[in-house]
Amino acid sequence: MVVSSDSSNFVTASMLVISPGNPIYSIFGHSAIRMQCPSKKLDYCFTFEMESGLEGYLKFFGGQAKARFVAVPTKEYLTEYQREKRGVKQFTLNLTPHEKQELWRQLDNDMLAGAHRKFNLIQNNCASTSMLMIESVLWEEEIDFLKLPVQMTYLNGNLLRYYSRKSPWGQFIFMTLFGSEADVFWNQEYRMSPELLPEILNHAQIKSLQSGKSRPLLIGQTVILPGKESVSKSTLTPIFVFTLLLVFVVLVTIGERLWHRKRLPKVTDYALFILQSIAGIFLLYVTLVTGLFGIHWNWYLILFNPIPLILWLCCRKRNGYAKVYLWYACILMAFIVSMPLVTTQSDTSHLLIAATFAIRCFNSIIKTKNK
């Protein structure tokens, strides 16, 4: 049967929502826009993708990652998620024939333009860009999100913590990098994730700016692929690992004080110092140089920064160098006390790390005074 181009069935536009996966880049899930034209036998998923390969990852951490929409035949697109046993749900959009054709045209143009949109996992991602693309084709209309999930009222830091709760190490990494953006409140489109999209879409309406009349954003939904929990759980969470590290450091310090053990404490101090320096240089670069997540300050620069390394290289042979330990220990203690009060970026794992550093700093002060 031939369907005319002005028929509501000529083109179908849908939002696909994919459940989270195990790799760190997929713990938030994924979303894509599916465009179908049955009479032309066309069926594509437009997925927002970053440049792939090693070069893509290097650009990501350099703050230079670009992304675009890529059209993939739907059957091929779903194969990967079927293999990973990840669920896929389809939400059919209630757009006019013109809006659906315009959406397809803009998606094609975005793909042909090459990777040109700045990408990051937190803000410019698959969910936010897909939703903004759909909103861009509405003429004298807007999407009215009538009932948002309660999580959408959280500050960014708590919202990110909720989204990444199933992957403790992913949460630890993202909270480390998030910086002062944790304490602000972005526009709602930038705060969406695939996990909350079903609830958001089901309550949303398309509202006319002239007449005020509304229609539901969705006209149907279906499960394309049934899925199961694909994010593997590990007992070696950051809290568990850094608690063990803290206990180990306490025991090492007690052994050094009571039984004058020297070799293990020295190796421990070197290891902590090297790891702190590497983390500090990387975090300073990501925050101040690349602006990876659109930020220019990170509270964890107090904990991880290259200043201790610089002071050690320049001043370790000078008299009074031991004062550095005292100052840094006091800063760490202030950090532990104040962080939970001043920012939603604060978490238990990083406070455990700070306590570990503080114990060895105080020990170094006592050791120097006893010489």
On the question of pLDDT at 65 being above 80, the answer is: no
- Tell me: pLDDT of 3 over 50: no
The CATH code belonging to domain 12-225 is 3.90.1720
At 21 the pLDDT is: 87
User: Mapped to the 3 state alphabet, what secondary structure does the chain carry?
Assistant: CCCCCCCCCCCEEEEEEECCCCCHHHCCCEEEEEEEEHHHCEEEEEEEEECCHHHHHHHHHCCCCEEEEEEEEHHHHHHHHHHCCCCEEEEEECCCHHHHHHHHHHHHHHHHCCCCEECCCCCCCHHHHHHHHHHHCCCCEEEEECCCCHHHHCCHHHHHHHHCCCCHHHHHHHHHHHHHHHHCCCCHHHHCCCCCHHHHHHHEEEEECCCCCEEECEEEEEEEECCCCCCCCCCCCHHHHHHHHHHHHHHHHHHHHHHCCCHHHHHHHHHHHHHHHHHHHHHHHHHHHHCCCCCCCCHHHCCCCCHHHHHHHHHCCCCCCCHHHHHHHHHHHHHHHHHHHHCCCCCHHHHHHHHHHHHHHHHHHHHHHHC
Q: Region 312-326: what's the mean pLDDT?
A: 87
Distance CA 64, CA 289 (A): 11
Mean pLDDT of 197-220: 94
More confident residue, 234 or 256: 256
**If you average pLDDT over residues 282-309, what whole number do you get?**
84
User: What's this model's pTM, rounded to 2 decimal places?
Assistant: 0.88
* Tokens (6 digits) for 359: 């114990």
pLDDT for 371 beyond 70: no
Evaluate whether 237 touches 168 at the Cβ level (below 8 Å): yes
pLDDT at 218 over 90: yes
Tell me where in the chain the CATH 3.90.1720 domain(s) lie: 12-225
The mean-pLDDT minimum among 35-39, 84-88, 201-205, 315-319 falls in 315-319
Q: Per mean pLDDT, which range of 56-60, 80-84, 196-200, 264-268 is the poorest? A: 56-60
**What was the pLDDT predicted at 369?**
61
Sign of the torsion formed by the C-alpha atoms of 246, 247, 248 and 254: positive
pLDDT in tens, 14-33: 999 999 988 887 888 999 99
Q: Stretch 276-283: mean pLDDT, rounded?
A: 94
> Is the pLDDT assigned to residue 1 strictly greater than 70?
no
Mean pLDDT across 241-260: 94
Query: Is it the case that residue 134 has pLDDT exceeding 50?
Result: yes
CB 147 within 8 A of CB 203: yes
Share of the chain above pLDDT 70, in %: 91
Burial 203-220 (b: 16+ CB within 10 A, else e): bbbbbeeeeeebeebbee
pLDDT at 368 over 70: no
**DSSP β-bridge partners for residue 117:** 67
Question: What's the pLDDT band for 7 if we cut at 50, 70, 90?
Answer: low
Q: How many CA atoms lie within 13 A of 204 on its CB side?
A: 28
In the structure, what pLDDT confidence band is assigned to residue 50 with cuts at 50, 70 and 90? confident
The pLDDT of residue 361: 93
* Better-scored residue on pLDDT, 229 or 265: 265
- Mean pLDDT is lowest, of 37-51, 52-66, 76-90, 265-279, for 52-66
**The pLDDT value given to residue 293:** 64
